[in-house]
Structure 1
Amino acid sequence: MIADLIYDVGLHKGEDAAFYLKKGFKVLGIEANPELVQHCRSRFRNEVANGQLRIIEGAIAPASEGPAIPFYMNSDSVLSTINRNRAERTEKLGHKSECVVLPRVDVADVYRSCGVPYFLKVDVEGADHLVLEELKQQPNRPQYISVESDKVDFDEVEIQLGLLRDLGYRKFKAVQQQRIPGSRVDTTALDGSNVAHVFEGGASGPFGDDLGSQWLDFDGIIRRYQSIFRDYRYFGDDSLLAKFPVLALPFKAVYKLGTGHRGSLPGWYDTHASL
């Protein structure tokens, strides 16, 4: 494991890389969307020039897919994916996609050539599991991992958590993402200096010790996600309230009053894992 290296898999517009770079880490960003790659090369031109940020352009996909991959660039860039079914699902929600062909990124080769990072952030629609699976072949593990969790299928969440457990992770957190934009963290950089950072829209937020909340064991995180999926069932994209938004606000108010729930409903979550 390389103690000063972070992988930002799903670089997007650099919302997370900005924080990692401010903390003094070297960052390897992987991004499929060519427009976002150019945006980040411009935004972080100094960091790219001095080698603090390296950007790998292409789509993460299995080797069986060959050297070129169909990639569905969505009108809402966070929904872009290699998964055709996901693209069709989001198009039904009003977000159109354009199919482009991109070079395939071999994650196993990236690990071999660049090393295993201290922190691995994964947010690549439809390919998160590939990034985690390839860690099985590596002699080391990142100290921390964050990965977006599914909002629709609880079985998928259990599979993802089981994979993290198989990789050796024993401590977990489910971190609500809806309240990250605009939040502030006061932390320290690698050189010991103080760092204050306000997270922009689209950021996934802090990691590791900066998260603050209590770590859960495997059974605890399963119970936590069971509670989260109850909220998805009542308030999520496929819920009855989503079809009748005029009822959502009063129902949410009553629900919070009755259950003591605090924060966003339902939002969406990233799973954080620690060795």
Structure 2
Amino acid sequence: MVPDLIIDVGMHQGQDTDFYLTKGFRVIGIDADIHSIDSAKERFKTYIDTNQFIPLHCAISDVDHETVLFNLSQESIWNSLNVDIANRHASLKDTVSVQSRTLASIFEEYGVPHYCKIDIEGYDDRCLQTLVPLHELPTYISVESECIGEAESISDQDAQRTLDTLHRLGYQRFKLVDQASLAVLTNSNKFYKDSTQLLQKVVRKLQSVRRKQQLYKTVGYGFTPGSSGPFGEWLAGTWSDYKTAKKMLHMHRHDYFSLPQALNYGFWCDWHATF
């Protein structure tokens, strides 16, 4: 394991890459959208010159060195190998050919990182599956809990698949993080509430402001919208075992999908895991 290395899978606009570089880590930033790669080359040129940052243009999948079709959305945060995700609200902009890599082969080439962030819109679990044969894994890892298209739906059991894969890989401790607020969810509080009510909107806004202030005090960095946020011991709260994490996922999913404003693809959380 390379203690100062982070691999950012699904770099997008470089929000998280900037955080990792600011904290002194070496970063491999991966994205299938050449516009994200070109932007990162310009934004992080100083870090590239000192070999602290390496941008990689490829699509992370479950096959290595093949040409695959990658779908670009007008909402670039929805760019995906899954056309149904990229085309939410008829927002598909273009489809391009990109070379694929597996995360396992990236680890073999650059080393196993201290932390790996995975955010690739619907292919996260396939990305994890390629790590099963490896004997060494990142100390910390994060991955989207679920991601589906506008017309799709999944059961609780299917929504549990990413957690199951992390557990199969050997990870024993977990945190579930709401990505819109970067709040670490717990097994006892009702986080998702009806925000159509004016009072609840005000309360959530105040909570969000306080949370961002606390994050800045803890981490010393101001996260912008779309960031995956802090990782590892920078995360608040306590780690949960697999059994507790599974119950927590089901509880929060049920709370979210009971809301009148819930979207079928709107449960937007990351799993963070460690040993």
The interval holding the TM-score normalised by the smaller chain is 0.7 to 0.9
**Counterpart for residue 32 of structure 1:** 32
**Counterpart for residue 67 of structure 2:** 68
| Structure 1 counterpart SS, 2:40 | helix
Stretches of structure 1 lacking an aligned partner (at least 5 in a row): 188-194, 240-265
Aligned mate of 1:237, from 249, 260, 263? 263
For the pair 1:125 / 2:124, whether they are aligned, the reply is no
For the pair 1:59 / 2:77, whether they are aligned, the reply is no
Instruction: State how far apart, in whole Å, the 2-side matches of 1:113 and 1:267 are.
Output: 34
**Counterpart for residue 148 of structure 1:** 144
For the pair 1:162 / 2:164, whether they are aligned, the reply is yes
Aligned mate of 2:226, from 187, 202, 218? 202
TM-score, normalised to structure 1, is 0.81
| Structure 2 counterpart SS, 1:112 | helix
Aligned residue-pair number: 238
TM-score, normalised to structure 2, is 0.81
Amino acid at match of 2:178: Q
Alignment of 1:77-88 (within 5 A): 77-88=76-87
**Counterpart for residue 106 of structure 2:** 110
Instruction: State how far apart, in whole Å, the 2-side matches of 1:43 and 1:112 are.
Output: 27
Amino acid at match of 1:214: T
Instruction: State how far apart, in whole Å, the 2-side matches of 1:5 and 1:137 are.
Output: 21
Contact 1:61 1:69 in 2 (8 A): no
Cα deviation 1:104-126 (Å, max 9, x = unaligned): 22333211111111111000112
Contact 1:175 1:272 in 2 (8 A): yes
Structure 1 residues 162, 176: CA separation in 2 closer, same or farther (over 3 Å shift)?
Answer: same
Instruction: State how far apart, in whole Å, the 1-side matches of 2:11 and 2:238 are.
Output: 27
Amino acid at match of 2:80: T
For the pair 1:7 / 2:7, whether they are aligned, the reply is yes
Amino acid at match of 1:210: W
Amino acid at match of 1:175: V
**Counterpart for residue 48 of structure 1:** 48
Aligned mate of 1:172, from 171, 174, 179? 174
Alignment of 1:177-196 (within 5 A): 177-180=179-182, 183=212, 184-187=215-218, 196=220
Compute the displacement of 1:158 (Å). 1.5
Structure 1: 4+ residue segments shifted above 6 A? none
Amino acid at match of 1:77: S
| Structure 2 counterpart SS, 1:201 | coil
Amino acid at match of 1:7: I
Structure 1 residues 128, 97: CA separation in 2 closer, same or farther (over 3 Å shift)?
Answer: same
Compute the displacement of 1:56 (Å). 0.8
Instruction: State how far apart, in whole Å, the 2-side matches of 1:232 and 1:186 are.
Output: 29
Instruction: State how far apart, in whole Å, the 1-side matches of 2:3 and 2:268 are.
Output: 29
Contact 2:71 2:92 in 1 (8 A): no
Compute the displacement of 1:267 (Å). 5.7
Structure 1 residues 161, 238: CA separation in 2 closer, same or farther (over 3 Å shift)?
Answer: closer
Amino acid at match of 1:137: P
Percent of counterpart pairs with the same letter? Answer: 32
